[in-house]
């Protein structure tokens, strides 16, 4: 005892220190961290190779910018999630293919690389960049002119870097083509496969069947046992492979949307602005001061406004005011500010100067002015575009871009022109050279054509969103906080019932989901779910739009083959049908006993015999039924004029008799069948190769926690 008393302080210090260390270790393990290095920037680890978040994010930004330019759409949570998922699949595919290419030693040599650029048959990507706009044919002179420029001392370093990056992409694409060629060359279709395909598409069968639908037995008459579930699960286990981890959770939502009183208050506020906008002499300034959406006033053509407003304004006189009206969750008033007739479309070409490469906007504009003087002095716009423009897509075409309308929409839905560019082009005259700055840089623009005539209008729209007042939000948040404060891990359902709330469920949510059913931008809730353990409650109230969310994690389904418990609810209908099938099999077996025809079987079983003609194996659909692969497969393996045993199909149990087969003419030349099958194999090959590589890859995916 004396020994313990003397050393008790040290002993307590040791155990306290050990407990703290154990706590820290458990937290590090839960978060996937490391004592020795910071791995918080690792988006994933693929076959031991780390994928930096920064590199992935750079690609996401590139794809996002490309999407914006091509579609002109505003990014929503779903679109952002789609871009991230697409980028991830591209990233993963590139990484896995690169490893396979390195294993095989596939390279693109120096001579081959040179031939891809300047050989007799340049790579298609390069040929497209330097094609003649009129004919669409590759223009070698444009390519040679550009290459000469890059080799000259005056070549822009940014353009050199962009060209080098482009060549790397072309070479990597060539390596992938070689790899896929190896795969495709290994595909072979033999004569037996060709003949089977020919028979499946052309051999006909006539038969008569009787069926007893699973729906003929009420669900309440069927009792499912653990053995029933296990038997079905064991027979279909391969179907329950989870491609990525998913999580499910229950949640309650407290509505903080605008109340009726909030809406009336906002309407009254907008009403006060009606008289003011009627007498306004500067509608643009009025919108900037009073509107939630500070959109500049631009001329628009018919069909570009929301339908009701479009009809009203294009038939109204200048100064007409409409509203207040409700649109897209806001109270609005609209005033017809101006009306004019202008060109239907404008055709231009441009030279884009990068301000960053030139040392600022002013220097970029000065360079554009210098190029403008060269053109005015007789120099070729197309040649100078090829030399100086950083927009390589249009530079390869002499600076030409598709024609566009007054709203900047390109012909044929090819994209959207920057508003500064479009406005300047419509104000200029044919042949004018103008210098304009946009978000993309400094443009030297030449107006080539001005076509058609169209009425355009300016509409000043003032909007006030119908949003909840601070009082409404406070009341809803207080209710959510009170509910959260009363929760324990065991009373979630009881508290929901007590408070008269509705329990909602988010099932099988993947780690990169941006929203939940009926709720957009719920990324914070999803991120929480992938850090929580089964049974955990949220430790705070989440704000999702105008809802306050509190949730409890109910299930974690890991990547790989799911357990029976994880899929039990999912397979219940199929298991029930299998149990019903046993009862229907017995009914048909009794009907078959002593019967010599399908009509007798049908009569005894209480159903009808149905004749069917000219069914082919390749299209296993029985008229009036769904696709019945198992039944049609059995029919084509049967002997004519022989009653079958019961066959369990998709919709019910079948008994049939084959009247006869009609065989097609003998296949004397199977080349066409081989080609068709081979083409189908090749079309599927690339996707299936990537799927196989992904299935076999060891991927630690941290996207759920980082995105």
Is there a domain that residue 668 lies in? no
CB 584 within 8 A of CB 278: no
Angle at 524 between CA 521 and CA 530, to 5 degrees: 125
pLDDT at site 406: 84
591/527 Cα distance (integer angstroms):
58
Residues 144, 225: one domain?
A: no
Residues 404, 417: one domain?
A: yes
319/93 Cα distance (integer angstroms):
58
Q: Which residue has tokens 């210090």?
A: 13
Q: Which residues of 79-90 are buried (b: 16+ CB within 10 A; e: fewer)?
A: bbbbbbbebbee
Confidence of residue 21 (pLDDT cuts 50, 70, 90): very low
411/498 Cα distance (integer angstroms):
60
Is there a domain that residue 55 lies in? no
Residues 549, 573: one domain?
A: no
* DSSP track, 403-460: -B-TT-BBGGG--B--HHHHHHHHHSPTT-EEEEEETTEEEEEEEEEEE--EEEEEEE
pLDDT at site 20: 41
CB 84 within 8 A of CB 91: no
263/51 Cα distance (integer angstroms):
49
Q: Which residues of 529-545 are buried (b: 16+ CB within 10 A; e: fewer)?
A: bbebeeebbbeebbbbb
pLDDT at site 81: 87
Q: From residue 308, how far is each of 302, 312, 407 by CA, in Å?
A: 12, 6, 19
**What's the average model confidence in pLDDT over 263-267?**
96
Confidence of residue 5 (pLDDT cuts 50, 70, 90): very low
Is there a domain that residue 275 lies in? yes
Count other Cβ atoms within 10 Å, centred on residue 70. 13
List CB contacts of 623: < 8 A, sequence separation 6 or more.
612
Token reading at 417: 């022109």
Residues 286, 230: one domain?
A: no
Nearest to 137 by CA among 368, 397, 386: 397
The domain boundary residue, chosen from 511, 535, 558: 558
The boundaries of the domain holding residue 622 are: 204-242+565-662
pLDDT at site 673: 93
* Pure H helices in 107-259: 110-118, 124-129, 140-151, 157-185, 191-202, 226-235
pLDDT at site 134: 64
Q: Which residue has the higher pLDDT, 233 or 1?
A: 233
Residues 403, 442: one domain?
A: yes
Is there a domain that residue 94 lies in? no
25 pLDDT higher than 90: no
Residues 428, 393: one domain?
A: yes
pLDDT at site 40: 57
CATH number at residue 474: 3.10.50.40
26 pLDDT higher than 70: no
**What's the average model confidence in pLDDT over 317-333?**
95
pLDDT tens digits, one per residue of 373-417: 999 999 999 999 988 998 888 888 899 999 998 888 888 777 788
The domain boundary residue, chosen from 342, 363, 396: 342
608/623 Cα distance (integer angstroms):
15
Confidence of residue 150 (pLDDT cuts 50, 70, 90): confident
232/230 Cα distance (integer angstroms):
5
The domain boundary residue, chosen from 387, 417, 451: 451
**What's the average model confidence in pLDDT over 207-219?**
97
Mean pLDDT estimate for the chain: 89
Residues 216, 266: one domain?
A: no
Residues 353, 446: one domain?
A: yes
Q: Which residue has the higher pLDDT, 536 or 427?
A: 536
Count other Cβ atoms within 10 Å, centred on residue 622. 22
List strand residue ranges (DSSP E) for 227-344, in order: 241-242, 246-255, 300-301, 321-327, 330-342
Q: Which residue has tokens 């430790």?
A: 539
Q: Is 358 exposed, middle or buried (0-12, 13-18, 19+ CB in 10 A)?
A: buried
List strand residue ranges (DSSP E) for 584-697, in order: 610-616, 647-648, 652-662
**What's the average model confidence in pLDDT over 676-695?**
92
What DSSP character marks residue 318? T
pLDDT tens digits, one per residue of 451-490: 998 999 999 999 999 999 999 999 999 999 999 999 998 9
Is there a domain that residue 690 lies in? no
Residues 398, 376: one domain?
A: yes
240 pLDDT higher than 80: yes
Q: What percent of the chain has pLDDT over 70?
A: 94
Residues 643, 606: one domain?
A: yes
pLDDT tens digits, one per residue of 600-649: 999 999 999 999 999 999 999 999 888 999 999 999 999 999 999 999 99
**Which three-class secondary structure state does DSSP give residue 505?**
strand
Alpha-carbon dihedral sign for residues 122, 127, 130, 132? positive
Nearest to 561 by CA among 238, 335, 308, 290: 238
695 pLDDT higher than 70: yes
How many domains, in total, are found in the chain?
Answer: 6
- 0.75 surpassed by pTM: no
Average the pLDDT over each of 129-133, 501-505, 590-594 and give the range with the smallest value.
129-133
Is there a domain that residue 699 lies in? no
Residues 440, 354: one domain?
A: yes
6 pLDDT higher than 50: no
**What's the average model confidence in pLDDT over 262-286?**
95
pLDDT at site 141: 83
First to last CA, the chain: 57
Is there a domain that residue 47 lies in? no
210 pLDDT higher than 80: yes
pLDDT tens digits, one per residue of 61-103: 888 888 887 776 778 878 888 899 999 999 999 999 999 999 9
pLDDT tens digits, one per residue of 153-201: 878 787 888 889 889 999 999 999 999 999 999 999 999 999 999 999 9
CB 386 within 8 A of CB 407: no
CATH number at residue 317: 3.10.50
Nearest to 404 by CA among 372, 368, 447: 447
Is there a domain that residue 76 lies in? no
Residues 350, 438: one domain?
A: yes
Token reading at 57: 């994010």
30 pLDDT higher than 80: no
């Amino acid at each position: 005892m004396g020994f313990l008393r003397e050393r008790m302080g040290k002993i307590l210090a040791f155990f306290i220190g050990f407990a703290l260390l154990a706590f820290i270790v458990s937290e590090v393990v839960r978060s996937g961290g490391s004592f020795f290095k910071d791995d918080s920037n690792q988006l994933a680890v693929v076959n031991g190779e780390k994928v930096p978040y920064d590199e992935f994010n750079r690609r996401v930004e590139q794809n996002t910018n490309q999407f914006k330019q091509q579609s002109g759409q505003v990014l929503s949570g779903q679109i952002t999630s789609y871009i991230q998922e697409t980028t991830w699949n591209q990233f993963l595919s590139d990484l896995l293919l690169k490893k396979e290419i390195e294993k095989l030693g596939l390279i693109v040599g120096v001579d081959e690389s040179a031939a891809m650029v300047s050989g007799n048959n340049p790579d298609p990507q390069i040929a497209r960049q330097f094609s003649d706009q009129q004919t669409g044919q590759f223009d070698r002179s444009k390519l040679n002119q550009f290459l000469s420029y890059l080799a000259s001392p005056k070549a822009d370093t940014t353009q050199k870097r962009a060209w080098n990056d482009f060549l790397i992409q072309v070479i990597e694409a060539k390596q992938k083509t070689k790899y896929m060629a190896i795969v495709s060359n290994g595909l072979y279709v033999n004569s037996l496969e060709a003949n089977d395909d020919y028979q499946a598409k052309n051999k006909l069968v006539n038969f008569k069947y009787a069926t007893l639908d699973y729906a003929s037995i009420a669900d309440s008459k069927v009792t499912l046992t653990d053995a029933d579930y296990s038997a079905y699960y064991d027979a279909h286990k391969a179907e329950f492979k989870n491609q990525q981890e998913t999580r499910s959770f229950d949640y309650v939502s407290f509505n903080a949307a605008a109340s009726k009183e909030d809406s009336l208050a906002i309407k009254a506020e907008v009403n006060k602005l009606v008289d003011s906008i009627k007498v306004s002499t500067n509608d643009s300034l009025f919108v900037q001061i009073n509107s939630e959406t500070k959109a500049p006033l631009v001329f628009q053509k018919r069909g570009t406004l929301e339908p009701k407003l479009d009809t009203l304004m294009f038939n109204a006189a200048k100064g007409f005011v409409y509203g207040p009206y409700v649109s897209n969750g806001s109270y609005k008033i609209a005033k017809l500010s101006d009306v004019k007739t202008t060109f239907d479309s404008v055709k231009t070409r441009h030279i884009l100067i990068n301000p960053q490469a030139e040392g600022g906007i002013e220097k970029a504009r000065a360079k554009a002015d210098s190029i403008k003087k060269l053109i005015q002095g007789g120099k070729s716009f197309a040649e100078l575009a090829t030399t100086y423009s950083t927009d390589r897509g249009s530079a390869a075409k002499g600076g030409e871009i598709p024609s566009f309308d007054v709203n900047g929409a390109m012909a044929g839905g090819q994209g959207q022109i920057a508003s500064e560019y479009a406005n300047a082009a419509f104000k200029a005259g044919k042949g004018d050279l103008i210098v304009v700055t946009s978000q993309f840089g400094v443009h030297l623009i030449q107006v080539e054509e001005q076509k058609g005539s169209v009425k355009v209008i300016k509409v000043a729209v003032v909007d006030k969103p119908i949003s909840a007042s601070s009082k409404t939000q406070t009341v809803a948040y207080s209710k959510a906080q009170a509910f959260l404060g009363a929760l324990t891990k065991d009373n979630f359902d009881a508290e929901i019932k007590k408070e008269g709330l509705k329990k909602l469920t988010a099932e099988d949510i993947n780690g990169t989901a941006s929203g939940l059913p009926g709720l957009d931008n719920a990324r914070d809730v999803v991120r929480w779910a992938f850090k929580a353990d089964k049974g955990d409650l949220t430790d705070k109230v989440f704000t999702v739009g105008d809802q306050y969310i509190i949730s409890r994690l109910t299930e974690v389904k890991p990547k790989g083959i799911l357990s029976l418990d994880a899929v039990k609810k999912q397979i219940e209908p199929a298991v029930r049908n299998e149990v019903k099938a046993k009862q229907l099999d017995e009914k048909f077996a009794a009907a078959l006993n002593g019967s010599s025809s399908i009509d007798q079987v049908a009569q005894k079983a209480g159903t009808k015999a149905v004749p069917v003609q000219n069914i082919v194996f390749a299209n296993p659909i029985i008229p009036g039924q769904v696709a019945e692969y198992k039944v049609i497969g059995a029919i084509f393996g049967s002997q004519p004029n022989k009653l079958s045993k019961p066959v369990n199909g998709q919709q019910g149990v079948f008994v049939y008799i084959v009247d006869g087969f009609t065989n097609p003419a003998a296949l004397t030349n199977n080349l066409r069948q081989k080609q068709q099958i081979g083409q189908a194999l090749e079309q599927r090959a690339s996707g299936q190769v990537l799927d196989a590589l992904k299935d076999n890859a060891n991927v630690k995916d941290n996207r759920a926690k980082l995105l």
